[in-house]
Chain A
Amino acid sequence: MTKLDVTEPPPTDTGRRAGSAPSGKPPNGGWRLTLNRLDLKGSPYLYIAPFFILFGIFGAYPIIYTIWLSATNRSPLRAETEFVGFDNFITLLGDDRFWGSVINTLGIFVIATVPQLVLALMLANWLNRQMRGMGFFRMAIAVPIVTSTAVVALIFGMFFARDYGLVNYLLETIGLDRVDWRASQGHSWLAIASMVDWRWTGYNALIYLAAMQAIPKDLYESAELDGASRGRQFWTITIPLLQPTIIFTVIISTIGGLQLFVEPLMFTSGSGALRGGSTGQFQTMNMYLVQTLRDFHEWGRAGAIALLLILLTVVVSAINYWLIRRISSDK
């Protein structure tokens, strides 16, 4: 994760000085000094208060409330809210639609994230070289960051159209059959993963690039003297030193990837889009959550899905963390 610098800044001493001042001052300045001390002691809390108040209302309270909600059957369709214990979770664990959304989320996540991070590493390695005009390439790689996911999904939705889509045009040009991209699980996952990759590969590449530029050059020079090839240098110097950054991007991609929503939602148009295709072949957990919340009006169960989604995120992050540690320290 991010390495956080929570060390103390050098002491300014101002607090102590003002605090010890009263004894030597004439008494008529007393109220002023009290005010001054109040300012010194109180204002820091005043300045950070907006964050904690707003986070309390819109962050902490909803999170705690979700836990309670998931144990009730609260719904605008019912007059009385009852405590139902683990019923919501049991219902979900026996629900094919829910499991389908879990599989879709994980499937799209894996086929999107693995190539994305590998490509990003490769790109960063290229961008780290010396060349005229490298600034342009760095900017070009970053352009997708500005594009909204909704716009990405609309453009790619057109690329992957069955009848006049560009991808099918290319497939036919090289002599292959056209594909109905929205019809099957595998094809729709691929199309959605390509949207995710286009939007995020450059972002990750820039983060890797920043970390690569912090690696001391003499490490490479001495490796070169020892006769190590570029490929070997990449594996024995760059990758191990990048490990914390790689873990950071993997965790961030896991959190983002498991929340996937806009791309599959926009992949079809119309009011039934939350279903994620005719048989839910690309409905993600987040889509199922919103469908349960807004279309089925089962607020309690939606709360339970939110908790399961977070649980899954934690589990997958932990697995990924363990995997990355193993892979990058094996080399």
Chain B
Amino acid sequence: MRAGPLTVIGLIFAAILSFFPLYWMVVVASRTSAAAYQWPPAFLPGGNLGENIERVISNPDAAILKGILNSFIVAGTITVATVFFGALAGFAFAKLRFKGRNALLLSVLLTMMVPIQLGVVPLYILMIQLGWLNDIRAVIAPFLISGFGIFLMRQYTIQSVPDELIEAGRVDGCSTWRIFWHIVFPALRPAAGVLGLLTFMQHWNEFFWPFIVLADPSNPTVQISLRSLNSAYHQDMSQIFAGMFIATVPLVVIFVLFFRHIISGIMEGAVKQ
């Protein structure tokens, strides 16, 4: 069906609404602090972006560089582990035959529906006992595996790794591990990329659990450092928004570049048969 004029107007309006808050972030991040309290508000970007970024980076109380570094370590580690374990288990569920496979797969899928809140109190106590409070290990450890990751990789393995390929490996005398590492894993590269991007994004943006276990403001993840910036310097909007700018723009760029793949990954997880 072709789009009518009303549809086009609606879509343009929706696109503007979609971009506006991010545009606004750029506006405030690129102006002086005083401009945030200007009446009527300023609607166009200014020329202070670089200066504001420098100020927020050198602000000793916000620890935003430390936050960015921590977030890279956290999201990076979780991403590598999720992709690797997801591919490994996804391969097993898709191509290997073993007792209890369907029941085990079902239990993996059921874990996708369990919200972290249900176990958050014991998890917090566990982190105290491990001595991991205010340590980024507490943010990494619970998320190294994901039911969604296994499901996505299993779907992709079924779709794009033919059984003949695996059989050929067996005939050549490859062990299961060699088949996985040399035949299956390379074939999963596109799915691994999508899962990796989604996972990285999700954990770069994560707030709830880091907020609970990283109470010490000197060792935050980037989202937590944005919050402490807001608490301590709530007068200095341009600094806060410059911090948001450097925490968000890399993701937006990656998203625009890989949009198609990311969306297909999201849909795969949501409505794929």
Contact = CB atoms under 8 A, between A and B. Distances in A.
Contacts of B2: 129-131
Contacts of B126: 58, 62
A313 to B, nearest CB: 7
Interface in A1-55: 2-6, 8-15, 18, 36, 39-41, 43-45, 47-48, 50-52, 54-55
Contacts of A255: 113, 115
B117 interface: yes
Nearest to A208: B271
Nearest to A8: B102
Interface stretch (B46-54, B57-65, B90-98): B90-98
A142 interface: yes
A196 interface: no
B108 interface: yes
Size category of the A interface is: 35 or more
A55 B85 CA distance: 12
Given A61-B122, A255-B115, A299-B121, A47 B248 contact: no
B11 A48 contact: no
B223 to A, nearest CB: 4
A289 B117 contact: yes
A150 B101 CA distance: 40
Interface residues of B, number: 105
A153 to B, nearest CB: 9
Interface string B23-36: 01100100000001
A256 to B, nearest CB: 9
A9 B95 contact: yes
A158 B205 contact: no
A248 B122 contact: no
Contact of B114 (A11, A59, A128, A289): A59
Nearest to B155: A5
B3 A126 contact: yes
Q: A123, A137, A294, A309: which has the most chain B beta carbons within 10 Å? A: A137
A54 B11 contact: no
Nearest to B146: A51
A147 B270 contact: no
B44 interface: no
B164 to A, nearest CB: 9
Contact of A150 (B167, B212, B215, B227): B227
Closest 8 CB pairs of A and B: A62-B119, A148-B205, A129-B3, A62-B122, A140-B15, A58-B142, A65-B122, A44-B98
Given A4-B106, A139-B256, 10 more contacts: A12-B167, A126-B3, A129-B1, A130-B1, A142-B263, A143-B252, A164-B39, A206-B267, A259-B208, A306-B120
12 contacts: A40-B176, A48-B88, A48-B89, A139-B256, A146-B248, A150-B227, A154-B226, A154-B244, A198-B18, A211-B271, A289-B117, A293-B212
